[in-house]
Structure 1
Amino acid sequence: MMPPVAYMETIDGWPWMKRVQPMDMKQLALDVARVTQDAGKHALTDQTNPHDLSTNYVHGESQFTSDVDDRLVRFIKNRLTHLGSFDGFWENRPDNPAPGTRYWCVGSVDGVINFVRNMPEWTVTVSLFEVNNEGSAQPILGVVHAPALGLTYLAARGQGAIRERRTPLGTKREKIMPSMAKTLQGSVVCFGMSYFPEESKRALNVVSSIAGKPADIKRVGPASLDLCKVADGTYDAYFEPHLHKWDVPAVSAGAIVVWEAQGKLRQWDGSMIHWRRENDVVASNGLIIDELRPYLV
């Protein structure tokens, strides 16, 4: 494939590289990673500024982060519109999009409570959906950036999954793959839970039922980061019930990272993720899922 033509311009004071067709998906993922990293710097500054820790939460958002989210999403969308020829954004897609059309899906801060409480586990996420011949939109590119941790995960269809780590010697980039744990016994599993009581009970019931089998069961979040930590082998599995439509940006970005790392991501009943409704999700290294699934009810 011939490399895409490129030239430099500036948006909001930040340099960026515009690329034209033919599209290089690997390079596009790297470009999107730079966008999320630039946006993450601003969001991290907002987090470290003094703020009220007693804010109220509504549908995954807080009074404090709503303003941060607005500026974050606006910044990212502005930059994305110049990365190539696409058909718009996920929330504005038509009911019956044409095959081959592509839509950016930009998330607000994933991990609102962690962000407000000054914890480092929160992310900035971007995914790209493409409509297939059956009219189903599926993610083909995903970036999950954790500014406070110095971590970026990126993946594109057919290109594998990569983790970038900030180190004292500079940025280290490496391909990732899931763990090789073969049984639930001695594994490390993480889970997510909702602030809605009935939804949380389902997650906690699963935790109770598998207690004593894994070596450890983690609850850190957010969903996008938990998925990526299955992809890189930190966790052997992750599960969470009732992920809502507002979770689509985070889950879709993490999903393509899991899939391209050769991990597995499905609903609890084994069916594919459905991007237009709620999902009970489980990600794994593919080796312990048959042992774990009976507990997912």
Structure 2
Amino acid sequence: MSSPSTPAQLAELAASVAHVAGDVLLYHQRRLRSGADLSVATKTSATDPVSMADQESEQALVRAIEAARPDDGILGEEGADRTGSSGLRWVVDPLDGTVNYLYGHIGWGVSVAVEQQADDGSWHGLAAAVFEPTTGIMHSAHRGGGATANGRPLHVNDPVELPMALVSTGFSYDRDHRLRQAALVSQVLGHVRDVRRVGSAALDLCRVAAGEVDAYFEDSTQRWDWAAGALIAKEAGAVVTSLTTMPGHSGVVAAGPSLHPQLDALVGMSADLPTA
């Protein structure tokens, strides 16, 4: 049996491995609710946790990907970093929204992207899946194939004018950076309908794709945070660009075609993200 190779097949595989990881996370969440110790440690700050659930979810993802696509590279939030020989790599966040997960909120999921390397060495989104285990919703997309949630086509809201826009955002774990972000959100609040904060960049981008919010911006993300969600949003019709508001920090702006330039002008300088 040949390995999945077309963008559509890779999207199906991404969804399959995301579901496997989701089962691992649901198992550990049941243990957590019964009082089990998930060996929670911290990473970049005292408020940036990582748990046994994050680590075992990534291990499950890596095993499933290696079994199906042994020549592909893998880049994961919890340390997976393997160079492949196929020109494809998997960018995974095994638990996007760890704080929500540990507190019992529903805003967490598994993010899996497949990227293809271009001749210049850059990486571009080819297929993606973002799975929400608590709701059973699987967001999926592949390049040129549109985006879906459990098979239902997704479309961004467009046109939307800035004063009527419902905008989602997120915050850094670094306290000094959060103070600057608070000032930016305060500025944005005076120009839009309202602001929402979910706690998962991958799900924020899927909310844009589904029309559940009109836009998303955040300037403190890593590639595994946005790689899958950005492709899903783009395939649903969003304009997705990178966002830089200060040196050393980068993020994402995603919105429908009419809203994006208005929001981008408000929040900072952006450039194309390599989502396709």
Q: TM-score, normalised by structure 1?
A: 0.78
Contact 1:125 1:143 in 2 (8 A): yes
Q: 1:188 aligned to 2:166?
A: yes
Q: 1:217 aligned to 2:202?
A: no
- RMSD between superposed Cα atoms in Å: 2.7
Once the two structures are TM-superposed, the CA of residue 149 in structure 1 deviates from its matched residue by: 2.2
Equivalent position amino acid for 1:31 in 2: L
Residue 273 of structure 2 aligns with which residue?
none
Contact 1:199 1:241 in 2 (8 A): no
Could you tell me which runs of 5 or more consecutive residues in structure 1 were left unpaired when the two chains were aligned. Answer: 1-5, 7-18, 165-172, 271-276
> Residues 24 and 85 (structure 1 numbering): CA distance in 2 closer, same or farther, change over 3 Å?
farther
Residue 265 of structure 1 aligns with which residue?
240
Residue 150 of structure 1 aligns with which residue?
136
2:16 aligned counterpart, secondary structure: helix
Once the two structures are TM-superposed, the CA of residue 282 in structure 1 deviates from its matched residue by: 0.9
Q: Which moved more, 1:109-118 or 1:155-164?
A: 155-164
Contact 1:191 1:203 in 2 (8 A): no
Q: 1:241 aligned to 2:219?
A: yes
> Residues 47 and 129 (structure 1 numbering): CA distance in 2 closer, same or farther, change over 3 Å?
same
Aligned-partner Cα distance in 2 for 1:265–1:230: 10
Look at both structures and tell me which one has the larger radius of gyration over its CA atoms.
1
Aligned-partner Cα distance in 2 for 1:268–1:191: 12
Aligned-partner Cα distance in 2 for 1:65–1:93: 21
Could you tell me which runs of 5 or more consecutive residues in structure 2 were left unpaired when the two chains were aligned. Answer: 269-276
> Residues 115 and 241 (structure 1 numbering): CA distance in 2 closer, same or farther, change over 3 Å?
same
Contact 1:180 1:287 in 2 (8 A): yes
Matches within 5 A, 1:61-140: 65-84=50-69, 86-90=71-75, 92-93=81-82, 101-140=87-126
Share of identical aligned residues, percent?
Answer: 27
Q: 1:20 aligned to 2:9?
A: no
Once the two structures are TM-superposed, the CA of residue 81 in structure 1 deviates from its matched residue by: 1.6
Equivalent position amino acid for 1:34 in 2: S
Aligned-partner Cα distance in 2 for 1:203–1:64: 20
Aligned-partner Cα distance in 1 for 2:165–2:7: 34
Aligned-partner Cα distance in 2 for 1:153–1:248: 18
Q: Which moved more, 1:222-231 or 1:62-71?
A: 62-71
Q: TM-score, normalised by structure 2?
A: 0.84
Q: Which moved more, 1:110-119 or 1:143-152?
A: 143-152
2:95 aligned counterpart, secondary structure: coil
> Residues 280 and 106 (structure 1 numbering): CA distance in 2 closer, same or farther, change over 3 Å?
closer
Residue 31 of structure 1 aligns with which residue?
13
